[in-house]
Structure 1
Amino acid sequence: MSQSPLLTLNDGVHIPQVGLGVWQLDDKQTEASSLAALDAGYRHIDTAKIYGNEEAVGRALKNTSVPRDEIFITTKLWNADQGYESTLKAFDASMKRLGLETLDLYLIHWAAPQLQKYKDTWRAFVRLKEEGRVRSIGVCNFNQSHLDDIIEDSGVVPSVNQIEIHPDFNQQALVDFCISRKITTEAWSPLGQGGELLKAPLFKQLADKHGKEPVQVILRWHIQAGHVVIPRSKNPDRVKSNFEIFDFKLDDADMKAIASMPQTGRLGPDPETFNNA
């Protein structure tokens, strides 16, 4: 059975570089995909309050034979729960749904700058870590200015920034900034939502070269770029094949070809303006 490489976060915690994302999966799909992933060798599951499937992840944790201390669980705070006291309450509620005493990684889902609450929210995250209730804390969809704000305000650097990244939207400037602050970058929508990107001739060419599928080539690119990557699927066979990316390596020419792809822009919301509650 393959095992995901581990990356070391800036607080010393080890995170599996490949995880299962469960966005847009219902309860039944989430539990089934989580169990299939754990059977295939995954040791990292990424959920969120807004996904509505934390309880299903919790059931999978109870029903798997994999010990809890071998599994890395991430969940996220939704915008409507931002603020110091409301963050603490929302964390308790997520932990109850997951059936956990300790969380591996807690993320602020969006900066939602119009709410003007992300600095207070981050202070609550720092408290949760200091109390030992969560091993690592981080953010999602934070631009450099948002990161600068919380670091300056609290003195605590996030361990992770989970952002939209795919080969035709690589956010390299933001990734480079995160590297400079020892913030690990996680990629959501790593396959560009499975649209035109997968049909690009370059990925067909590289897939043929390495005896792999275009999806696997893209996921391998993320690995070699140093991202944590969390592809999602409700198909157990696809969950398994998404993990079969550790038996080949893209060479320098492959990586340069992918890096030179035209940048077509983001598919998801703009972090500067998104504040849906």
Structure 2
Amino acid sequence: MSTTWLITGTSSGLGREMTRQLLAEGHRVAATLRRPEALDDLRAEYGDRLWVAALDVTDTLAVRDVVDRAFADLGTIDVVVNNAGYGVFASVEEASDDQIERVLRTNVIGSMQVVRAALPHLRAQASGRILQVSSAGGQATYPNFGYYHASKWAIEGFSQTVAAEIAPFGIGLTIVEPGATQTGFSTGLQTAPVMPEYDAGPAGDTRRAIERGDFAIAGDAVKVAREIIRSTSVTPAPLRLVLGRDSYDDVLRQLRARVEQIEPQREVAYSTMLDSAAPCAAQ
């Protein structure tokens, strides 16, 4: 059965690959990107099944206009994919104010506004799926990615809340957490002048390890895109979709470490309750 998708950030990487696969399978795609000409080849091949609009998700008014037009022109949209993203590779002091603001405006505010713009339409049709592309970095952390992590941890908290709020409307939401995938995203990471104070520590160690090629980018973009698409056939919608061996291993290891850190604090945590408060049930 043919479905209709709205995908942001489709000029390259997973956004473009999902668009290509969906069109090849006979679906319709409303694709947004900052440079519409980047999809001229797909538009020439697939014609009216590819709806294209210029969009910078940091422009909230433009987000609302484009999303409204996509629903008006295409009618029912089955899946909305928040894929547009921006990355900064720098230690906490090295990044510029502009870089910090842009990563948060793109990955957090932009994603939030796409969801807010789409929800009235999805509620009206009483169906739909939202896919929020996050990262292994939405659960795990690595030196030099602090601002990227801040954006992904923020959008995961937002998305998990939204998933609960919209479930009664028949709308599902899945947070997608790919590992290091060959999409070209790493080559587009913004960097900053290196400070010697950080170069001697974990931030510098991570930078040098990447320069040496110690961190393999082994995720297959075609396979990752295929699994993201397949996830929409799963009911109810999985809250999270972890993709990549590195993502699975790193996320699981860091989640287990967090549990190990918290569990010994139970007695202290309970001791801070009001004396008149009812006792908490044992976990």
Please confirm whether the aligned pair reaches a TM-score higher than 0.5, indicating the same fold. no
Which has more helix, going by share of residues?
A: 2
Output the TM-score relative to the length of structure 2.
0.37
Bigger Rg, which one: 2
